[in-house]
Amino acid sequence: MLKRYPSLQSMQAFLQAARAGSFSSAARQLSLTHSAISQQIRTLEEFVGQPLFVREGARVVLTDAGALFANQLGDGFEQIDRALSSVKERAVKHTLTLDVDPELAQSWLAARLPALLGALTGTSLTMLSAPRHDRSAFERVDLALRYGYGEWDGFENALICGDRLTVMGSPTLLSARGLAAPLAPQQVLALPLLGYTKRSWIPWLAAAGLPEAEPHAIAVFDNAAGLIAAASAGVGVGLARGLLAADAQRAGKLIELTSVEIPTHYNLYAVWPREKAERVKRLVDAIRELVAQTVNARRPL
């Protein structure tokens, strides 16, 4: 049910009378008659259910309720003024709200924000990183970039990037051990290994033809961006997605250690409410292009 409010005119009349201490002065400043001001304030008092002024000689003085109301109402009018000035006679930019998987935001998107904004001339972005399990976030944003299997009932989605997992490590780590890539899979297992809570080493071991038993990891991460940072620093070697590790590879901080790779099934998708398809099309196209540029620029083994 919509709330009923007093008119803006009655509240302006009240504030002016409160500041001036006189209905007559308020009437002159608002180009109204004394009776019009009196009527506006009487209507306001009927709405709030108690007097807002008492008369003291030729002046009117606020009651306790009137003083409280004047203080709060003044702040309210300042907010109205700010809201009006923010849009009055100004070209308001088109704004999109983008929810980004935290690992993608850290490892990939931050460095590409200038290019993404450049592709969206006249549009500003509001960036969020909702928890992965929070699917209700899709209803609060224009577009979400999430890892998954492409199953988001009730929403449109598009595959942005299929990917692959390879073992990556720092050239500094290899050099300190007198090694050089490429390594044999058995040599990888002799290095300090990094684990990821959402991923097992077993599929890679199977692809390499090695015994399928989860190896010991010296450190385990719940965030792939943290694993990539640790590998880049020479802490150990780990399985990393090509997209998330691309910048570290290009900078020479990481290299692929073997030719063994496994495809990912849990991939990057764009997800959006069906009614926002046209609104987000340009953003989806720009993201897809930036991803393609990243993949094509990847350093081979």
pLDDT, one tens digit per residue, over 213-270 is 999 999 999 999 999 999 999 999 999 999 999 999 999 999 999 999 999 989 999 9
Pick 24 or 301 by higher pLDDT.
24
Burial of 125 (0-12, 13-18, 19+ CB in 10 A): middle
Residues 6+ apart with CB under 8 A from 225: 102, 103, 106, 107, 244
Average per-residue pLDDT for the chain: 91
Q: What is the pLDDT of residues 44-72, one digit of tens each?
A: 999 999 999 998 887 899 999 999 999 88
| Number of CB atoms found within 10 A of residue 114's CB | 9
pLDDT digits (tens, 9 = 90+) for 82-97: 888 777 766 556 889 9
Torsion angle of C-alpha atoms 11, 14, 16, 17, degrees rounded to 10: 170
| 301, pLDDT greater than 80 | no
Long-range pairs, 290-295, Cβ under 8 A, ≥24:
290/112, 290/115, 290/116, 290/119, 291/160, 291/161, 291/243, 294/108, 294/112, 294/243, 294/246, 295/161, 295/242, 295/243, 295/246
Instruction: Name residue 179's amino acid.
Output: L
Domains and CATH numbers, the chain: 8-87 (1.10.10.10), 94-162+266-296 (3.40.190.10), 164-263 (3.40.190.10)
pLDDT at position 153 is 85
The tens digit of pLDDT for each residue in 151-195 reads: 888 899 999 999 999 999 999 999 999 999 999 999 999 999 999
